[in-house]
Amino acid sequence: MSRKIVMVLAAGFEESEAVMVADVLRRLDFDLVLAGLDEVIVTGAHDIEITADTVLAELDTVEFDAVVLPGGMPGSMNLRNSDELMEFIHTVYAGGGVAAAICAAPIALARFGLTDGKTITAYPGFEEYLNGNVPTERMTEIDGRIVTGKGAGAAFEFAGRIAEALGEGDKVKKVFEGMFIK
């Protein structure tokens, strides 16, 4: 049975992070659903529109093993400010799921209380939104069921770390070899 992941896209998301991570997760045979935070057609930070599969409000949390948040601005702030997303992620996480965020999106996980006491990384300059959590300089971090990435350049590694957190890390090397990712 394939593990099910939802990636939530908010207006102003970082397109490269969303597309690269979604591509890798689907190559790894995860059942990935793209959900718009508020709408099905979501415009990214660089005016690229992505048509999501659905909207967050239409999803049932019990179906998902992980929630992935791409960064970008103002997308990350839109994610952070969503009480609906906070409730959704808390339910998935409380059920044993993974919460993953890249670039500025760890600010959402911080507001939701999921990064307290965790080792995380994030795009530099958003420390004021991380509740005192100091990001490392590493490209990715995994601490239990919290996975974080620093930015677009970490997208492939970030996707691999999500797979690792979901117990499927052994598949990553073969997929990356086929994509010429070292």
Strand, helix or coil for residue 140? strand
Among the options 103, 110, 122, 166, which is catalytic? 103
Integer angstrom CA distances of residue 140 from 4, 26, 39, 63, 159: 22, 20, 29, 26, 10
What are the residues facing 42 on neighbouring strands? 50
Rounded CA separation 146/3 (Å):
17
103 catalytic, yes or no?
A: yes
Q: Which residues are catalytic?
A: 103
